Amino acid sequence: MNEIDDVDVARALSLMSDGALVLDVREDEEWQAGHVPLARHVALSGVPDVVDDLPRDRVVICVCRSGARSARAGRFLLEHGVHAVNLDGGMNAWFAADAPMVSDEGEPYVA
């Protein structure tokens, strides 16, 4: 089994500035509550359906609430030729780091 590399929030932000795609694999309600700006939302169960549409020329940062589901998604993506990494601590860590978030309508997220 492929092991997925974990990245912290600072590294994820750096990767994003270099063009990485954020793939949020949480459920709809979790996504709607707040997510990373410009992230793509695909619930974990839907990842196999979109794997062929994901970029092969840039990093895909997988994210969920705590990092467990996104690690599973990332391992699956690695097995299918996608350069994936996992956000260590997920959106819990993202929120704790006061990193940018938006609501489902794209408005800045305010806790």
Catalytically active residues are 64
The CA distance from 73 to 84, in Å, is 9
Lookup result for tokens 């929030």: 9
The b-or-e profile of 38-71 (16+ CB within 10 A means b, else e) is ebebbbbeebeeebeebeeeebbbbbbbebebbb
The CA distance from 88 to 11, in Å, is 10
